[in-house]
Amino acid sequence: MELTVAITGASGTIYARRTLQLLAESGVVDTINLIMSGTAATVAQVELGVNLKDPNAAKLNAWLGLPSDSKLIRYWRLDNLAAKPSSGSHKQAGMIIVPCSMGTLGAIASGAGTNLIHRAADVCLKEGRKLLLVPRETPYNAIHLENMLRLSHAGARILPASPGFYHRPKTIDDLVEHLCFRILDQFDIPHSKKSQWTGEEVAQGE
């Protein structure tokens, strides 16, 4: 399976990192086209203390804990509109934007994209491929909500960064993984089921 993953400047780079790691571990994803917005590296530095400016294969593999010679990640510059994800004739399963800023979401909703993230998302919509947006913003204003509804009507899936608590998370990593598992579910990608709802009743007082 081939997927495109985009990281924008919204808060939540930790979701992007864990999603990429889980995709790499899944055994069914063999190519990830990675795109980062201009501010994604700045947010990653603030939130995770990692330098992703001017990334190369070695730097990205080290960040994700992949073997140094791994070819899984293909990094594409934001201004490279000749990249493979920009063409509908290049077959892939779809695209994940995690986290997705409201600026990126609005640009895609308007159809007036100016960079590779916008174009790749537009290609997914026009080709009927899965497009998953993971916004991390609160509260939403009317413009945010209208743009999300517009994209939903166009075929995109909106999955806000809103992790659940029924699996009784003990750490931040538990919360992050729960959300990332839901991201993988949208593409039927296998993962651990440790946070999956079982339907079992919890005894009163527990």
Taking the model in full, what pTM does it have? Answer: 0.93
Instruction: Please give the pLDDT value at position 201.
Output: 60
CA dist 74 and 23 (Å) reads 14
pLDDT for 187 equals 96
The 10s digit of each residue's pLDDT in 65-114 is 999 999 999 999 999 999 999 999 999 999 999 999 999 999 999 998 89
For 46, half-sphere exposure in the C-beta direction (CA atoms, 13 angstrom radius) is: 10
Residue with tokens 């995109």: 156
Task: Give the residue ranges of the chain where pLDDT is below 50.
Answer: none
Domains of the chain and CATH, by start? 2-167+175-185 (3.40.50.1950)
Distance CA 12, CA 14 (A): 5
d(CA 164, CA 174): 10
- Dihedral sign from CA coordinates of 11, 172, 149, 129: positive
Answer whether 24's CB lies under 8 Å from 71's CB: no
Task: Identify the pLDDT of residue 164.
Answer: 86
